[in-house]
Amino acid sequence: MPEKSPETYTLLTYAGAIGFAAWGGVCGYFHRRGISGFTLASFAVNLVTSAFSGVMALFICEANELDPLYTASIIGMSGYMGVSVLEFMKMIFSKAP
């Protein structure tokens, strides 16, 4: 079996990660803002940020060889957290040796 790397993932893998993270992002957006606080611009920015954090979570989970169910859960939570998870990753990796 070929070694896993971002170049060998299928389009379906990326689409699944982005979709699951975006779903988490939608849940997080409406949980934080509610229907009355909806603006299209902030919603779009939230979706893009959630998708990006989900793809980063996919890479981290794959690098640590986590089970696919754990990976899916972490991707969804990363999408829900959005910018917060990116700040957390920044903190963790800036302290890495």
The alpha carbon of 84 is separated from its chain's Cα centroid by a whole number of angstroms, namely 11
Cβ(78)–Cβ(24) below 8 Å? yes
The pLDDT of 17-23, averaged and rounded, is 94
* Residue range 24-46, pLDDT digits in tens: 999 999 998 888 888 999 999 99
pTM to 2 decimal places: 0.83
Helices (H), the chain: 11-33, 40-63, 68-81, 83-94
- The structural domains of the chain, with segments of one domain joined by +, span 11-94
Distances 82 to 5, 10, 44, 92 between C-alpha atoms, Å: 24, 24, 12, 16
Give CA–CA dist 5/12, Å, rounded. 15
